[in-house]
Structure 1
């Protein structure tokens, strides 16, 4: 049963906090474009009149988080006072009420900071729905009847690729064999690749050491950051290939640093390392540029992966239509939460493109595992050629711990979306008043923004 029937469950409050972690001190997350990221998030708490809370977040890199927090505050009046029955029985309409508020829409629409704020709120509502039913989100999604799941999606602007009727038919077909796939998922988990080995700020020695570490943990697919210096890239990729061999898969990520022609030429120079994909080779908004890169690199058997900064389902639609991505990388926070992400999965499935989610950061691994497991159980029906990204950062801060064993995400059994911080984390890392930030301000490691 996936329906909430208690009509008295009213949303009493919505709060949002700025939570940051000083990851730049160890150059964790560093790449050619983002040289000093402090993994952070706008952390949303939606509280019911009964006291039950749903938690959602929208990932950021430090400075600027306060802007997302302000955007969440601007949407609060559209949420507080509603009953969850009214939201969940017509979730698509509620989603549209957030993304189409007539004045706030002007500074989007359906993109940028406002969409990041929307994702934080929507993620919290799905966490709440799953907690009300005492289920993990992946289980809630996979148990929804096709009609009910489709009712959560706003199909405006994408019906030229997929309609509600087509989506329902796909999901009906996806029910066939679901129980058998569930047994496989529970026994083996979902395959992962790791980016933890290859941050651009890491030394060569650390790069090699981490490759060996993650091979021992069972990983056979690795991603390395590239794009700052071609000769350095060749040196680093040679270290990686000499360590992991050529039986393992290797992907690279330029994080938007190149022009289109530069991307093609650069990757031609790296083709000797047998690259599975080049990720974000150019501007994340350049659909035709990605299509050109994909066409030029196809003879080299190098695919194009992108999507972590794709603004909305409409841009995903065009990337998919143009053959501009061979690997579709949804992000659990970049577009408007689960509702919109479901539409991207459906379009990718129809157009035959594999979804391999972007993860890492704060809470992204925790969230995308639910989405990819739903896809396996209810839509694509396969794990072949698909992975979930894994980065070993900030997992200890969540109440329900991520479980990755033998390079496979294990199907979580706790209720919710896995997005609830521990109380200790909020005490230490809420910015700028948390005790850890106060200590770093006092030592001069960071400057106190209030002075």
Structure 2
């Protein structure tokens, strides 16, 4: 039973210097430092449980979280979750902050961090991992968490209820299957754009040895280099394994078609984020042009909200839908997208590259399979082997599959020692790095 009045909300800016090793590098983000706005909410309940939430970002979202804090402070957690749709709309309809969005950008990222913490606390108080909380939830209760505004032309609440009702058939067997076998994953860790050929080969060899059969490679900076790297990877993994391409929004529409056609010889399953994430008709044009080659379009990690996903589905602009556990407005909005994807019968293959994203999105994809899609055809979840050691309940991968977490909560809780060490700019790691950068800059200024 959920209980307690929210007495405190804190947020910290936690950044990891992944750019030093080229981790996370792609054609658009050449030197990213993976970061998170990390939120903790506390209540006056005697159980002492805390709700932990985060949003993955390469920027600073903490200020926006603080701007939303007054919506939570002194609220009873029971009142929030018993009318979650209204609370969600309250956050996304803040009279001042909505002007910055609406439901997009830094404010929406902050909303995700705050609500992820609420869901974490709710699941902890119920003594269940989040995926199990969702799977066990009565359909009407689950639907009361979703804001259907702006999507009823595609999915009504009544249609969503029918999807969930049908999803209860065989869900116990699917849950047992997931507990025994896990959810299929693919790896992005082998082929960041900043990796050398030697590292790429080494990581591919290790991944193959560990049972990985699905690999994604970053492309988009240089065509000839892409051809060379794709050939290297395809030769490494063989013709029987699956290859995906990710351009990270680098191209114009005609360029995306032409470039991908020249990489078609390597038999990629999809081209991911080929152009601007806001260009729905552009994605549709790319998808139509590449369909004869058997190459699908995958996108979604940078989609602002459920409305963009709605239009991508309506326009037949994607063949693989990639939800993100932090870009959208937390679990609430992701639930609406999962249900729309089911109506259109488009497979969901979540984005999970970034600090904490694997930990979070595993819960959503398990719920999707057990209670919504009931299918694993053309479905897999991204996995990136970075930064899991900083979490209290890190993701577990066995035989290239996500094993369902069993600890209560949303797997969002970070280790306090990691937060202190990597907090920006006062953590031990950043003090040293920033001091070194200043020394280098000073030496260059004084160079005769």
Q: TM-score range by the shorter chain?
A: over 0.9
Q: Does 1:306 align with 2:282?
A: no
Alignment of 1:253-332 (within 5 A): 253-332=246-325
Give CA-to-partner distance per residue, 1:393-443, whole Å, 9 cap, x none. Answer: 100000112100110000110010111011110110111111121222333
DSSP-derived class of the 1:38 partner:
coil
DSSP-derived class of the 2:189 partner:
strand
Per the normalisation by structure 1, the TM-score is: 0.96
Q: Match for residue 23 of structure 2?
A: 28
The CA distance in 2 between the partners of 1:352 and 1:168, in whole Å, is 16
Q: Does 1:107 align with 2:100?
A: yes
Contact 2:347-2:377 within 8 A present in 1 as well: no
Match of 1:249 among 231, 242, 256: 242
Q: Match for residue 133 of structure 2?
A: 140
Deviation at 1:116, TM superposition (A): 0.3
Q: Match for residue 336 of structure 1?
A: 329
Alignment of 1:212-251 (within 5 A): 212-251=205-244
Q: Match for residue 129 of structure 1?
A: 122
Deviation at 1:137, TM superposition (A): 0.3
DSSP-derived class of the 1:246 partner:
coil
DSSP-derived class of the 1:127 partner:
helix
The 3 A distance-change label for structure 1 pair 321 and 201 is same
Give RMSD over aligned pairs.
1.2
Match of 1:19 among 2, 10, 14: 14
Alignment of 1:424-435 (within 5 A): 424-435=417-428
Q: Does 1:413 align with 2:406?
A: yes
The CA distance in 1 between the partners of 2:439 and 2:334, in whole Å, is 36
Deviation at 1:446, TM superposition (A): 9.0
Contact 1:276-1:303 within 8 A present in 2 as well: yes
Q: Match for residue 80 of structure 1?
A: 73
Gap regions ≥5 residues in structure 2: 442-448
The 3 A distance-change label for structure 1 pair 13 and 384 is same
The 4+ residue runs of structure 1 with deviation greater than 3 A are 442-448
Contact 1:47-1:53 within 8 A present in 2 as well: yes
Per the normalisation by structure 2, the TM-score is: 0.96
Contact 1:441-1:447 within 8 A present in 2 as well: no
DSSP-derived class of the 2:394 partner:
coil
Contact 1:440-1:446 within 8 A present in 2 as well: no
The CA distance in 2 between the partners of 1:417 and 1:376, in whole Å, is 17
DSSP-derived class of the 1:311 partner:
coil
